[in-house]
């Protein structure tokens, strides 16, 4: 299965979510998202990946104020009456994505095993593109899409430096203890901000940038 076999269905979801009448909501969502994850500029190395991450968030996670549902949930509901089985299965998969911070546990031909850092659950992800440059022990932000009986990556990633692995794991442990009710995505977003800073300010040590308790962004 090609990792982007879901793309034609995703294109329909994007069209559904980005009509002219929804443009004000799209712009508001964009401002909210980049306030949380760090503003990006076109000359940033991460610009395209961050825009892909925002699109994922807008389509799959953010509930529209008017309906209380994500665009993915809205489209599934709208197509349930008329859609064929394959189409409905694809649109349902967009309401069941898994997003978070993951540690790479194992890499085998065509499969990457990940462990979600907060819950500890492991996932086998189908990936035929030379494991997108990953190595065992890496930590990344990713989104997994259940499609056609397998899990595949979305197009959006945020890769964290190897030097930041220990600090991220320590912060996950601390937040689980002192902030157990806080949504894990808050750390995902804060780590994304720090990744952006690490890319921009190469003269600053990575462990200083990823000092979650001592260095506020």
The structure tokens listed for 194 are 């720090």
Q: Which of 109, 111, 179 is nearest to 144 (CA)?
A: 111
Report the pLDDT value the prediction gives residue 189, as an integer from 0 to 100.
98
Long-range contacts, stretch 124-131, CB < 8 angstroms, 24+ apart:
124/151, 125/151, 125/152, 125/153, 126/1, 126/3, 126/150, 126/151, 126/152, 127/3, 127/152, 127/153, 128/2, 128/3, 129/3, 131/107
Report the pLDDT value the prediction gives residue 216, as an integer from 0 to 100.
74
* Local mean pLDDT, 10-residue blocks, the chain (217 residues): 75 96 95 97 95 98 94 93 82 97 94 97 87 86 94 95 97 96 96 96 95 83
pTM greater than the 0.85 cutoff: yes
Please tell me the distance from the alpha carbon of residue 123 to that of residue 36, in angstroms, as a whole number. Answer: 27
Q: Which of 31, 94, 34 is nearest to 60 (CA)?
A: 94
Please tell me the distance from the alpha carbon of residue 62 to that of residue 74, in angstroms, as a whole number. Answer: 12
10 burial level (CB within 10 Å; 0-12, 13-18, 19+): buried
Report the pLDDT value the prediction gives residue 148, as an integer from 0 to 100.
87
Report the pLDDT value the prediction gives residue 112, as an integer from 0 to 100.
95
């Amino acid at each position: 299965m090609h990792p982007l076999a879901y793309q034609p269905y995703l294109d329909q979801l994007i069209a559904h979510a980005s009509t002219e009448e929804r443009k004000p909501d799209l712009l508001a969502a964009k401002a909210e998202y980049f306030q949380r994850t760090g503003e990006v500029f076109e000359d940033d190395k991460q610009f395209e990946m961050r825009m892909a991450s925002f699109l994922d968030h807008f389509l799959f996670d953010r509930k529209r104020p008017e309906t209380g549902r994500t665009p993915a949930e809205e489209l599934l509901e709208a197509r349930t009456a008329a859609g064929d089985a394959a189409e409905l299965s694809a649109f349902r998969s967009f309401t069941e994505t898994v997003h978070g911070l993951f540690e790479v546990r194992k890499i085998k031909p065509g499969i990457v095993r990940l462990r979600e850092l907060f819950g500890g659950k492991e996932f086998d992800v189908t990936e035929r593109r030379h494991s997108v440059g990953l190595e065992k022990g890496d930590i990344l932000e990713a989104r997994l899409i259940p499609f056609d009986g397998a899990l595949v990556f979305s197009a959006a990633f945020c890769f964290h430096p190897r030097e930041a692995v220990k600090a991220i794991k320590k912060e996950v442990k601390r937040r689980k203890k002192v902030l157990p009710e806080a949504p894990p995505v808050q750390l995902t977003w804060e780590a994304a901000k720090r990744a952006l800073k690490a890319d921009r300010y190469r003269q600053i040590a990575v462990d200083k940038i990823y000092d979650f308790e001592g260095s506020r962004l």
